[in-house]
Chain A
Amino acid sequence: MHHSIEVRGLVKAFGDVRALDGVDLTVPAGSVLGVLGPNGAGKTTAVRVLSTLTRPDAGSARVLGLDVVAQAGEVRERIGLTGQYAGLDHDLTGEQNLVLIARLLGASRPRAKARAAELLERFDLVHAAGRAAGEYSGGMRRRLDLAASVVRRPEVLFLDEPTTGLDPKSRNGLWDVVRDLVAEGTTVLLTTQYLEEADQLADAIAVIDTGRVIASGAPSELKQMVGGPVLRLRPVRAEALAPLAELADRVIGAETKLEEGAAAVPVAHAGQAAAIVAQVARTGIDLVSFGVDEPTLDEVFLALTGHRTESTSEAEVAA
């Protein structure tokens, strides 16, 4: 049994920029790998190599046991790609876009129309079937783009930053669609800049920076490395910081850190945060604000590399 995706020592340079500098990845069949990294880390280049759009300089990449360079034609038969920029014809309607893809993939006209109708229904686009894709909202366009990637039910699906630029509601909707596809047995490799997205969708996460995988593992392992959510309490008066920290430590047994104007309490879940806030209210300490912050990609990077994310976007642009 092959892994669905196996990448060993992948290298791709654009001029002096090594977009991929020895990347290893393994994705078991039916699972979801989240490739997490900042702009310019090499995520898009990795997806382009795996989907046969860019040839690597060194290393090997196999999809469903097939070499992406030597057997590119066979790979294309079995994958789907949703790139970072919508792979749609903006002058065509939603339905015309899907029919075109189905026709190019060999469907007769009636079958192409039937498949387009199914997908429009499934991706909640029936109401917009007759409108030009260029007039779609961001969320609708992403759904249509995803629909176009699964016209012939690919075994492996590549999603390059599928929710970048979407509002939270559209993003949640897209996540549901991806989960459905995974439930049907599709193997997914998705890239993202959001730790939360990788956490929500992926069985495993590979963190990538300047063309290298700097950490990989289950989302829970990764989150342990950076710590979980943090409750930040901002009192009206600075003198209240120390009592707040004591109180929080007493309630949940945490180790609160004092920041500029805020007490930062590491919490395991929302319930703990609520308990602390309730206790604070009872003691009568006045707060300017409080909130739970999820760890961000930036904090993952800080924990893993000791430096913040640097957006070196040349590699992505060149790709």
Chain B
Amino acid sequence: MTVTTWTTRRGVLAQSASMAARSLASIRNNPATLIEFFMIPLMILLSITFFMGGQMMGTWQDFLQYAGPTIVVMGLFFAIPATGLALFADLESGMFDRLTAMPVSRFALLSGRVTADMVKHAWALLVVGGVAFAMGYRAEGGVLGVLAAVGVVLLFMFSASWSMVLAGLTAKSEDQVQTWMVALLMPLSYTSTAFIEIETLPGAVQWLAEINPMTALSETIRSLLAGDAPGGYLLALLGWCAGAVAVFVPLSLRAYRRRLTN
């Protein structure tokens, strides 16, 4: 028998792409899962807009125009823990034992998962954003404004996902990953200007809302979609994203190494 061998190597990004493709292969084998990725953000958009929108701003149409984009983003945000949960399951599996005992970059094993989930988030954003448009939402910033806002949202999702990578690596159980998520996402969402105007908040919470990364995100995409320059909020957002990556990526790699000593 002739044996096909090789001496080539592939870089970290190529390995990461292979891992991302692996996580997405289940979609090819079972396309129905495509629906799962947008159900939660879609339901959040529909229920908040139709049931609460009228009471908050007179008509649901006005509410959609003000809060539609941020509600879409918040819905997406609730999919971030999936990264931690999937990674937790991966790490418990024999599959990751095999991969860890192979000469494969640790970063690639983690970033492959993040990359795959970013593809899912982009898909959900496309679908739910399309529904918002169909419901009557219009961006004055036009196509360019929409594209810029989408880019900012995905960058934010990418950075925030690394906190869930750390959660997946350090949690002792799936429940712990879930708890982390609620503890992080709920206050972030509700003390921001995602749904409400900052002037309506009590004094102390106003300060919290002002520095909240979700506020930076909400205000940035509102400006971009309206065709305005986002200014300081965009800078704050970029700072948050860079900070999250700079903190959570090294901590995640350290947590991965630590698993080996146990």
Contact = CB atoms under 8 A, between A and B. Distances in A.
- Specify whether A and B are partners: yes
Interface of A: 14, 48, 51-55, 73, 76-77, 79, 81, 83-89, 91-93, 96, 100-101, 103-108, 111, 114-115, 118, 122, 132, 145, 148-149, 152-153
Contacts of A114: 4
B100 interface: yes
B25 A87 contact: no
A77 B25 contact: no
B99 A104 contact: yes
B95 A81 contact: no
Contacts of B261: 54-55
Contacts of B172: none
B95 A89 contact: yes
Given A55-B260, A76-B101, A87 B94 contact: yes
Contacts, number: 102
A86 B262 contact: no
A115 B7 CA distance: 13
Interface in B247-262: 260-262
A52 B8 contact: no
B6 interface: yes
Given A54-B262, A89-B22, A118-B1, A104 B15 contact: yes
Given A111-B8, A132-B29, A152-B5, 6 more contacts: A87-B97, A89-B22, A104-B15, A105-B102, A106-B8, A107-B6
Interface centre among A53, A87, A111 (most CB of B within 10 A): A87
8 contacts: A55-B260, A86-B94, A88-B95, A91-B26, A96-B22, A107-B8, A114-B4, A118-B4
B6 A148 contact: no
A103 B18 contact: yes
A288 to B, nearest CB: 45
Interface string B102-116: 111000100000000
Contacts of A108: 6, 8
Contact of A51 (B9, B30, B101): B101
A55 B259 CA distance: 9
Which 10 pairs between the two chains have the least Cβ-Cβ distance?
A87-B98, A85-B94, A91-B26, A106-B9, A87-B94, A114-B4, A76-B103, A115-B4, A81-B101, A103-B18
Nearest to A84: B94
Contacts of B47: none
A132 B30 CA distance: 11
Interface in B125-140: none
Given A55-B260, A118-B1, A118-B4, A83 B97 contact: yes
B93 to A, nearest CB: 7
B106 to A, nearest CB: 11
Contacts of A145: 94
A153 B22 contact: no
Contact of B6 (A54, A91, A106): A106
A100 to B, nearest CB: 5
Contacts of A89: 22, 25, 95
Given A92-B22, A108-B8, A153 B3 contact: yes
Contacts of B15: 104
B5 A54 contact: no
